[in-house]
A and B are shown apart, each in its own frame.
Chain A
Amino acid sequence: MKKLTLIVNGKKTQVDSHPFSRLLDVLREELKLTGTKEGCGEGECGACSVLLDGELVNSCLVPVIQANGKKILTVEGLAKKELTPLQISFMKCGGAQCGICTPGMLIASHWLKKSKKKLTTQSIRENLSGNLCRCTGYSQIVDSVRNVKGAS
């Protein structure tokens, strides 16, 4: 066990974890931030996506020690009180069905929007290809990202 510091959604947090615990488990079990989901545990589905110092990572593949002292953004950190324009767009365009892939999709889309890449259907599809969704067939997710109004 090791004392580690994580800055989760803007808040400095101490955790007492095995250094090789998966970041995903520390978030979900110790910090009770269950918004981040586990779909495969092997880096294939992206349901566990979080931002680690601004980088998009699969938290099921990150040992928590690698996050020590770093900033982590999870789905819970997106909306302050009101939903963000990105979340509103997902709501309006049908980007979430069962919702289990949604936290990962939102984080990946948020990262994509922040990256200031040009958002064409093709670039959105390329950048979200690490996030699997079994419900939507992706069209409405792509629409959600493309149609965001205002800053994200």
Chain B
Amino acid sequence: MTWVGRSALRKEGDGKLRGLAKYIDDISFPDMLHGVTIRSSIARGILREIEYLPGVNWDDFVKVTANDIPGHNYVALLEKDQPYLVEKQINHPEEPVLLLAHPDKQLLEKARTLVKIHADPLPAIFSMEESAKQQSLIWGTNNTFKKYAIDRGDIRSAFENAAVILEGTYETGAQEQLYIEPNGVIAMAHKSEGVTVWGSMQCPYYVHKALLPLFNLPAEKIRVIQTETGGGFGGKEEYPSMIAGHAALLAWKSGKPVKLIYDRMEDMVATTKRHPSKTVIRTAFDHQNKLIAIDIDFTIDGGAYCTLSPVVLSRGTLHASGPYFSPNVKIRSRALATNTPPHGAFRGFGAPQSLFALEKHMDYCARKLNVDPVTFRKSNLIQQGQMLGCGQIVNEKIKIKDVLDRALKESDFKRKQKSFRQHNKKSPLKKGIGLSVFMHGAGFTGSGETFLASIASVKATPEGKIEVLTSNTEIGQGTNTIFSQMAADALHLDFEDITVVQPDTSRVPNSGPTVASRTCMIVGKLVELAALDLKQKLIAAKFLKGKYQRKDFISACKKYLKEVGELKGNSQYKAPPHVVWDEEKYQGDAYGTYAWATYVAETTTDIRTFETTVDKFWAVQEVGRVINPTLAKGQIVGGVAQGIGYALYEDIVWKEGRMANNKMSNYIIPTTLDTPEIEVHFMELPYSFGGGGSKGIGELPLDGPGPAILNAMEYALGVQLNFIPMTPEKLMKQMDSGAS
């Protein structure tokens, strides 16, 4: 019997269901202090003075400013531009300036209100348009974190010879991850013993990397441990490095454990969000409505510091021309600086932005060309052997047309199109149906995985069972369960024989970050290979034969441990031979493989209130092998719900670079009543380089809902809708202006 393909029960489910799982705020240490962060109040300026007003006994408080930093004052990631604490220059309205710690939370809250930050303001920039003008320089020499260019074919002559040229501009807003557990860490630090941090996080080794220069300590003196994590969605990819550094600085100065937990308002106002974007697409068609050229200009707002913007931009750029074939391609993209808190990783990582634009544009073109959007897409979809926009030839078997057909069939698309048209003639409740067709590349982009060179291990326990050692975190998506399934199959063991070790940098190797839908596909494969390596050692030692029973394996392990010593299997990432990427020219095999999907949304818009509901949703995707159907479905449905929020509800109100609606009561995410029945269908084409045959799926469901929902609304209302979130207020404006 094999475990891959079955809905094995969530490995850590029992503790979660009993309320016994320990999240960071559930842990405390004797003598522990609490920490708070005091932030700048202006968007840009020069820090002059920190004033401590009377009202508390300030001597009882631990205070940390930039001057207390033992090493280097930057959060190590891609650039060294973001400080842990402001020295002089303030670049966004939530910049950390001062840290305070005290045993009493209440007193700490009081003290927080008694600090006055004096600063001299400088002109600030709050929009990409302003940033692009470069009239005031707020980052580097041109306000630009990164640019990419893709050029293929002869774009100029293609446009000159086109039968039809169509152009559109599309925009997407910022989005808050809104994991239900806010960011938090606990740190201990001693000059001799080093620094230990526990926390809610996706990537323990990112935090590890960031703490090294901050404390100027050798690697073995920094230890990072992930605690049970209440959701991440990208929001706990990079920010934990900041908060871990802060808590560790307070611990370093006080010699005591320090807990630093954000409340909801601070988490929403200060931490990273999805990059807002603007995309201009120009397309050229021949007389048969075939796409002959595509010219895309894609811009994202990176906020005040570089953080991960270049990587987000890269994924957005590489997905920008979607699953279509065009012989001539030009893409220009850039990430610009503004004086808002840095935008960062959020599930999908740039692809939901550029795919929103593309899939909106496809519907727009179909309408202008007077063809049905399905037939139109079909005649332009990529086929095996053709080249994607990024320069990657799709050599593997590809089922995107079958995926599309399946979605049409399951949703009864064509019939509904007709019947809704009839229905809408006599009702203020306008019904629509729309779709999006897209793909998502899993794993790091281009040579990213080679560069990461991830390592995974498995280890035999004295009971003859197996421990899986990776730095990939369980954040709700099922890491513990799927790794156990894969390791069990690789070793012909039982699911129960496998434990996945809590990520702790002093125990687990660096198998890379838990991002980019890479855990299952990339690291899962490494777990399988490490397991085979272990098995090979048993066979080589002649303790095990090629064919064996579970009990033989267990006794072989025990024997090995007794007679030889530690028994570990290891593996390290090697790029599949078919993946060739040219970083310099920025083209080639951007991803080892892609998952392919078609999503359909059925909506109703009440033109009296301008409220839109998604009545039903179909998500059809080819994702390689499905490792665990229940977990996989959970990933898709949960992602689609976030996508519905992105499309219709989740509107960040910006005021001078700061999120003004930083509460759950005025930043609205979907509830049980806003989420429809979401039908999930998987088609499987096992990918031999992915764990258990899988491709990544985690981010896929953020790409499709936005354009599918807006395409449905457009169908219902007959107005052009080119941006999200399309809240009722914005829809009203759009309909009043009669854009078509």
> Which chain A residues have a beta carbon within 8 Å of chain B's beta carbons?
28, 33-42, 44-45, 47, 74-76, 78-79, 83, 87, 90-94, 96-103, 106, 121, 124-126, 128-142
- The residue that B18 contacts in the complex, of A47, A79, A92, A97, with Cβ under 8 A, is A79
Let me know if B264 is at the binding interface, CB within 8 A.
yes
Q: What separation, in Å, do the CA atoms of A128 and B670 have in the docked complex?
A: 12
Residues of A near B232 (CB, < 8 A) are 98
Given known A-B contacts A98-B180, A98-B476, A90 and B638 have beta carbons under 8 A apart:
no
Give complex CA distance A58, B515 in Å.
33
Q: Which residues of A contact B182 (CB under 8 A)?
A: 39
Q: Is the CB of A35 within 8 A of B180?
A: no
Q: How far is the CA of A74 from the CA of B21 in the complex (A)?
A: 14
Asked whether A34 and B22 contact (CB < 8 A) given A132-B669, A140-B637, the answer is: yes
Q: Within 8 Å of chain A (Cβ to Cβ): is B164?
A: no
Contact of A76 with B672 at beta-carbon distance under 8 Å, contacts A38-B25, A96-B10 already known: no
Against A, the Cβ 8 Å flags (1 = close, 0 = not) of B228-245 are 111111000000000000
Q: Does A139 contact B678, Cβ atoms closer than 8 Å?
A: yes
B633 touches A140 (CB 8 A): yes
> For chain B residues 203-243, which have a beta carbon within 8 Å of chain A?
228-233
- Residue of A37, A91, A96, A142 near B181 (CB, 8 A) is A37
Would you give the 0/1 interface string for B628-658, flagging 1 where the beta carbon is closer than 8 Å to chain A? 0011011001111110000000000000000
If A83-B14, A94-B630, A139-B678 touch, does A45 touch B20 (CB 8 Å cutoff)?
no
- Binary flags per residue of B663-690, CB closer than 8 Å to A gives 1, else 0: 1110001111101011000000000000
Residue of A nearest to B20 (CB): A35
The 4 closest A-B pairs by CB, nearest first: A35-B19, A98-B476, A100-B230, A99-B16
Residue of B whose beta carbon sits closest to that of A137: B641
Residue of B nearest to A125 (CB): B672
Across the interface, A74 reaches (CB within 8 A) one of B7, B19, B23, namely B19
Cα A142 to Cα B634 in complex, Å, equals: 12
Tell me the nearest residue of chain A to B636, going by C-beta: A137
Chain A binding surface SS class: loop
CA distance A75 to B17 in the complex (A): 8
Chain A residues closer than 8 Å to B181, beta-carbon distance: 37, 39, 98, 100
The residues in B between 17 and 50 inclusive whose CB is less than 8 angstroms from any CB of A are: 17-23, 25-26
Q: Which residues of A contact B675 (CB under 8 A)?
A: 137-139
Chain B contacts to A: CB under 8 angstroms: 7, 9-10, 12-23, 25-26, 177-182, 228-233, 263-264, 475-478, 630-631, 633-634, 637-642, 663-665, 669-673, 675, 677-678
Most chain B beta carbons < 10 A, residue from A44, A126, A141: A44
- Contact check, B264 vs A137: say whether CB atoms are below 8 A apart: no
Bound form: Cα–Cα A131–B675 in Å: 13
Judging by beta carbons under 8 Å apart, are B231 and A100 in contact?
Answer: yes
In the complex, what distance in Å separates the CA atom of A42 from the CA atom of B664? Answer: 8
- Which residues of chain B come closer than 8 Å to A138, judged between CB atoms? 637, 641, 671-672, 675
B632 — nearest CB in chain A belongs to which residue? Answer: A94
> What's the minimum C-beta distance from A73 to chain B, rounded to whole angstroms?
11
Chain A residue nearest to B15 in the complex (CB)? A99
Q: Are A136 and B673 in contact (CB under 8 A)?
A: no
B672 touches A129 (CB 8 A): yes
Q: Across the interface, do A142 and B17 meet the contact criterion of CB distance under 8 Å?
A: no
With A and B bound together, what is the CA distance between A76 and B22 in angstroms? 13
Looking at the assembled complex, report how far the CB atom of A70 sits from the nearest CB atom of chain B, in whole angstroms. Answer: 20
A140 vs B23: C-alpha distance when bound (angstroms): 23
The smallest C-beta distance from A51 to any residue of chain B, in angstroms, reads: 14
A125 touches B678 (CB 8 A): no
Of A35, A93, A128, which one neighbours B672 at CB under 8 angstroms? A128
Bound Cα distance A125, B641 (Å) = 14
Q: A103–B181 Cα gap in the complex (Å)?
A: 13
Which residue in chain A gives the minimum CB-CB distance to B228?
Answer: A99
CB distance from A41 to the nearest CB of B (A): 6
* Chain B contacts for A92, CB-based, 8 A: 9, 630
A41 touches B264 (CB 8 A): yes
Decide: B18 and A39 in contact? CB cutoff 8 A.
Answer: no
Quote the shortest CB–CB distance from B567 to chain A (angstroms).
Answer: 32
Residues on A with C-beta less than 8 A from B19 are 33-36, 74-76, 78, 102-103
Residues of A within 8 A of B25 (CB): 28, 34, 37-38
A101 to B665, CA, bound (A): 17
Q: Across the two chains, which residue of chain B brings its CB closest to A84?
A: B17
* CB-CB nearest in chain A for B634: A94
- Asked whether, in the complex, the Cβ of A137 is within 8 Å of the Cβ of B663, the reply is no
Cβ–Cβ < 8 Å partners of A132 in chain B: 180, 664, 669, 671
Smallest distance from the beta carbon of A26 to chain B beta carbons, Å? 14
Q: How far is the CA of A135 from the CA of B477 in the complex (A)?
A: 8
